[in-house]
Amino acid sequence: VAKNLVRASTTKMAQSRRKKLEKMDRLDAPTSDDKSAHVTFTPEKTSGNVVLTVSEATVGYSDNRLSGPINIDERKGESLAIVGPNGVGKTTLIKSIVGQIPFLAGQAKLGANVTLGYYDQEQGRLTTSNTVLDELWNEHRLLNEVEIRNMLGAFLFSGDDVKKTVGMLSGGEKARLLLAKLAMNHDNFLVLDEPTNHLDIDSREVLENALIDFPGTILFVSHDRYFINRVATKVLEIAPEGSTEFLGDYDYYVEKKEEQLAQSDESDNGGLVESLAQQDFTAQKEVQKNRRKVEREITSCEEKLAELEIKIETLMLQMQENTSDFVKLGELQAEIDLLNDEKDETEMTLLEAMEELESL
C-alpha cells in the first residue's frame, strides 16, 4: 500500500487496499507447542589418536568402477565431510568403510579402541515388524523399560508412540529412531550417510548441535551445505580420478576450489570468458524480452482497471436513478459486486506484474 500510494497510476488501488486492510481483524501469532528432541552422543571410551586410515582405495561394484584412488587419514576429534558429484560413489565409500561392500582395491583400517556407529540413509538397519520400544530394547536387554522409554522420549517418542511398529513410522520418525539407536551404543566414531535427510528444520538443528558437542570423531556424507559448514573440520572431495583433502569447513573448500578454477589454463579461461560473454548476451536478451512482456501486461491491467471504474460508476449512477425499484437495485448491485471482484483480481495481477518488473 505504501509503495503504490505515491504512484499516480496506482493511488486509487492503494487507497482501496488500505481501507480493506484497516477493516481486517488482527490476530496474535500462534504459539507453538512443538517439542524438540534432546540428542546427545556420549562415547563410552576414548579411541586412539589414529581413527581411520583408507589407503589407495577404489570403490564401485564388480566391473563398475566409481572412484579411486581414495586416501583418508582421520584423527581423533576430527569431523570429515565427504563431498563430490552425484554418482561418484560417496555412499559406496561409506558402505565399504563399514564393511558392507568390498573395496575394488585398497583397504580401510580402524585405529586402536575405535568403536564405530553407522547411520544408514536408506534406513535398512530397522526391522519393520518391531515396535519402536522393541527396536531399542532388543539390543539393550540389560536395561529396564523405563530407561528405554526415557531414551525414546528424548527423541520425541512418548506414550503409545512406542507401541507403533517401525513399518508405520514416517521417514522423519525412522530417522529419529535410528539416531536414538546410535546414541544408545555410545560409540566414539560416528559414520553418517545423509543424516539430515527426512528431518525437519528443528531436528536438524538439534542434530547439528549434538554433533558439534560430540567429543569423538565423525565421518559423514551430506548434500546440506549449511550442515557441512557447521559440523565439518575437514572436507574430502572425491572424483572419478581420486580424492583431495581440504583442511577446513565448507566455506574454505569452496574458496580453494574457486582459487583452483582461477589458476586453470589461460586458453581454457579464454574459452570460458567467451562462453560466459555469450551466455550473458543471451541472458540480457531474455531479460529484455521478459521486461517488454511484463510492461505490456501492466498497460493492459491499467486500461482494464480504468474501464472497470467507468462501468462501476455508471452502474452506481443508475442505482441513484432507480432508488424505488428494489428489484432493479438488486440486479445493479449484483453487477457491481462482480465488477469489484474482477477489479480486485486485476489489481492483484497489476501489483504482481509491477513487482516482477522491479526485479528485472
CA proximity to 79, closest of 210, 206, 201, 174: 210
27 inside domain:
no
pLDDT for residue 139: 86
What is the domain range of residue 349? 268-359
Of the three residues 235, 262, 289, the one that is the final residue of a domain is 262
- Amino acid letter at 133? L
CA proximity to 39, closest of 203, 232, 228: 203
171 inside domain:
yes
23 inside domain:
no
User: In CATH, what number is assigned to the domain containing residue 198?
Assistant: 3.40.50.300
246 inside domain:
yes
Which residues of the chain carry a pLDDT beneath 70? 6-9, 29-36, 264-281, 360
For residues 97, 100, 105 and 111, what is the CA-based torsion angle, rounded to 10 degrees?
Answer: 30
Of the three residues 262, 279, 304, the one that is the final residue of a domain is 262
Q: What's the CA gap between 98 and 110, in Å, rounded? A: 10
Please tell me whether residues 99 and 200 are part of one structural domain.
yes
Do the beta carbons of residue 41 and residue 119 sit within 8 Å?
A: no
The predicted-structure confidence for 249-298, as pLDDT tens digits, reads as follows 888 898 888 888 887 655 555 555 566 666 666 777 777 888 888 888 88
* Percentage, residues of the chain above pLDDT 70: 91
Of the three residues 239, 262, 285, the one that is the final residue of a domain is 262
Q: Counting runs of H as helices and runs of E as strands, what totals does the chain give? A: 11, 9
250 inside domain:
yes
Which DSSP category does 216 fall into?
S
Q: What's the CA gap between 29 and 258, in Å, rounded? A: 44
pLDDT for residue 266: 53
Please tell me whether residues 84 and 162 are part of one structural domain.
yes
29 inside domain:
no
Please tell me whether residues 283 and 257 are part of one structural domain.
no
Number of domains in the chain: 2
| CA geometry: angle 214, 218, 108, nearest 5 deg | 145
E strands, the chain, are 50-61, 64-75, 79-83, 105-110, 116-119, 189-193, 217-221, 234-239, 242-246
- Amino acid letter at 279? Q
pLDDT for residue 144: 87
**How many beta carbons lie within 10 A of that of residue 328, not counting itself?**
14
Please tell me whether residues 216 and 312 are part of one structural domain.
no
The residue with cell 547439528 is 208
The predicted-structure confidence for 232-247, as pLDDT tens digits, reads as follows 999 999 999 999 999 9
Please tell me whether residues 321 and 173 are part of one structural domain.
no
Q: What's the CA gap between 309 and 343, in Å, rounded? A: 8
312 inside domain:
yes
What 3-state DSSP class applies to 26? coil
CA proximity to 309, closest of 7, 12, 11: 12
Q: Taking the model in full, what pTM does it have? A: 0.64
Do the beta carbons of residue 76 and residue 215 sit within 8 Å?
A: no
Listed in sequence order, the DSSP H helices in 187-265 are 201-213, 225-231, 250-262
pLDDT for residue 114: 97
Cα distance from N-terminal residue to C-terminal residue, the chain: 21
- Amino acid letter at 28? D
66 inside domain:
yes
